[in-house]
Amino acid sequence: MTGRGARGLLVAVLRTGRRKVHAINPMAAARYRHSVTRKKSCAGDALVLANILRTDMHAHRTLPDDTDLAHGIVVQARAQQDATWNRQTIATSSARCCASTTPVALAAVEPWKNALCRLAASALLKAASTPTPAAG
């Protein structure tokens, strides 16, 4: 595998079948490419990677097996990333809602970092009077 995808879904699936996965540096793979134009293609890359392992497998390391601890860290990191994205999505939609209903309260918390994610912002928005239809 090359590049950032070396720890992605494809590698996880390959490892469930107990296949050996080798780490090949993208620059090393580029040096093995024998075409004049050096164009990249999926089929061409697959052939290059297969030839690298056929001829020089000893020069490329096999990725170690993942431990239960490593799996746990991956699960926790993904959960934290999902929570961060969800918080940002909720803050963005809350800001849109507040902009149309209580723009003064929104302006008051705007200078704060992660303004709408703070408890003080929640208290301020609760305390803000509901606008009349004429004011909306």
**DSSP secondary structure code for residue 36 in this structure:** S
* pLDDT over 70 at 106, yes or no: no
Q: What is the pLDDT of residues 13-52, one digit of tens each?
A: 777 777 788 888 888 888 877 654 567 778 888 888 888 8
Surface-to-core class of residue 48, CB atoms within 10 Å of its CB (0-12 exposed, 13-18 middle, 19+ buried): buried
pLDDT computed for residue 40 by the predictor: 72
Q: How distant, in Å, are the alpha carbons of 66, 75, 83, 126 from that of 70?
A: 6, 9, 20, 43
As a whole number of angstroms, the distance between CA 107 and CA 128 comes to 12
pLDDT computed for residue 36 by the predictor: 47
pLDDT computed for residue 38 by the predictor: 63
At 12, the pLDDT band (50, 70, 90 cuts) reads: confident
Whether the CB-CB separation of 6 and 23 falls below 8 Å is answered with: yes
